[in-house]
A and B are shown apart, each in its own frame.
Chain A
Amino acid sequence: MKVSLFVTCLIDIFQTDVGLDTMELLERLGCEVDFPEKQTCCGQPAYNSGYVDKAKESMKHMINVFENADYVVTPSGSCGTMFREYPHIFKGDPVWEDRAKRLADKTYELTQFIVDVLGVEDVGAKLNATATYHTSCHMTRLLGVTEAPMKLLSNVAGLEMKSLPHNYNCCGFGGTFSVKMTAISEQMVDEKVQSVEETGADILIGADCGCLMNIGGRIDRQGKPIKVMHIASVLNSR
């Protein structure tokens, strides 16, 4: 199975390990993974701030980049959601709507791809720890990926998963919200960190780097001993 990796700008620049783990994991599961080098960013930061026309330029570029891919897989729930939004954004455009739809139809978030397309729920990973999982808002509510992550995590040998209280609460990232509305974001991330602490878990696992950087950044600032890992890295642990 040929898979094109959409690594996302955050991972490209700040969380390179996650990119490597994703790649290795997919290869381990029998995929041939390529990385279209011209990829940049899905356009979320500009789009979510209301700069739709400007964001469309990046979007068109990304549609071009992945035109020939069979499957587009991304280790980011929000970026996957963004690609799935493209047809809606280009609605009525005689040239781009169809192309956007073709891209949206073949785009999957990582765990969604492993469970729903590859049909795999046990990737043979091993990690001795207690952990809890953060359900990112866009991935859960907008992309509709609610079961796949836990299915995969429950099969990681040695990993004890604790349920995160009030997991439906947003962590307060929201892209530019985290810097535009810092006072409110702070309250939200503190509430989230508190929920994480209540589980007694060593590790917080998530599938969205934005959320993880937000919660992880706060945990680090507060000097708390909770490790933050992307699900790709957990699933690639042996």
Chain B
Amino acid sequence: MMAIGQAHNRDSFLNNLAKNLGRERHYQVEKPNWNHNPQWEVLKDASQDELVEVLKKQCKLIHTEVHETNSSDLLPLIQQLVKESGGKSVVSWDDPRFSEFGLSGLSDELGREQVAVHVWDRNGGEENLSFSATADIGITFSDATLAESGTVVLYSDIGKGRAVSLLPVVYFAIIPKSTIVPRMTQVARDMHRKVENEELVPSCVNFISGPSNSADIEMNLIVGVHGPVKATYIIVEDK
């Protein structure tokens, strides 16, 4: 059971705010229904196939390679992509979807090509991080995918380390087609519903759109600063 944290100086701080706002403290606030809701119009009636097209188009703009396949061809495709990248070490999530999508043989197949594979060890500690820090490729599934912005959404959990999509040089995201939604609006509503149902939101929700970049040097777009320098998405036909 999680220990409760502490709040310090709260009342004097907040009382001061209320005072300046010219009223007593508000303890009950009804969030209004907003008068404008344009976010729900984006890709409103798009079919799943249309969303895939939007996603693919956006990926071009964010320097992200994208492939489409189905479960039976997924393993060979990943092998091929690993080979093409020249990577010699792979770190991946400990996630049941790997076997659901026919990837239980991944470690063995890649091992045959002298590629070391480390699956996030839920009982491990630092080794997970140190492996990830020097790994060439990180592979995760996408928990939700945003078509409009070419974004994979990852929820941290036991077995689903944050570092896998962050530290390696290259990042592969396997995207089950059914996870694709128009934009962040849909995911935000899901989170909001979770909260209303008193479910725990993940400690880390990552919205990842392509590789890392910066325009801090003379406004030149440089790809790959702290996060992966290359990102590849693999859309998989699922139920």
Q: Do chains A and B touch in the complex (CB under 8 A)?
A: no
Interface residues of A (CB under 8 A from B): none
